[in-house]
Amino acid sequence: MKALPVFLGAGIIAGAALLWVSVVPTGGDAAPDAQVLAQGQAIYVAQCAACHGADLEGQPDWRTRLPSGRLPAPPHDASGHTWHHSDDVLFRIVHDGTAAVVGNGYESDMPGFGEILEDEDIRAVLAYIKSTWPERERAHQEEVSRQD
C-alpha cells in the first residue's frame, strides 16, 4: 500500500511540471541575449549588408522596379516593411528566398540561405534586425507573429 501514495505523488509532480511547461512562455517572447544579437549582427554584415545596407537602409528607390523588373533590396530598418511580416514569413524568406515564398512566378534577387546558414543563424540575424526597430514596430511585428 505504500507504493500508491508514492505513485500518486510522482504523478502530481509530473502533472505540475507539464502544466508549467505548457503555461510559461519560452523562446518566442523572451528577448534574445547579447551573444545571439552579436552573432546575428556578424552574420548580417557577412551575408546581408551587401544588398540591404550596413545600416539596414536597403537599396536606393527600393520600391521602384529595376530594368530587370525586380525590386531592389528593401530596408530592414523601421522605414521598410520587414516589420509587417510574421516571424514565420521572415524565416521562410531568408531560408528559401523571396520567389519561393511569394510563388506564382515572382522573380527576386533575394536568394535562399537555407543551404548556407543553419536555422539558428537565420533566427539570430532576424533577432538582430528586430532589435534595431523602435518599440512600435517591434510590438506590431510581435502581434503579427502571434496571429500567424
Q: What is the secondary structure of 74-120 as a DSSP string?
A: PP-STTSSGGGS-HHHHHHHHHH-HHHHH-TT---S----TTTS-HH
pLDDT tens-digit series, residues 81-122 = 999 999 999 999 999 999 999 999 999 999 999 999 999 999
Q: Over 90: is that where the pLDDT of 54 sits?
A: yes
Torsion angle of C-alpha atoms 78, 80, 83, 85, degrees rounded to 10: 180
What's the CATH code, domain 33-147?
1.10.760.10
pLDDT given at position 32: 84
Q: Which three cell numbers stand for residue 110?
A: 533575394
The domain ranges of the chain are 33-147
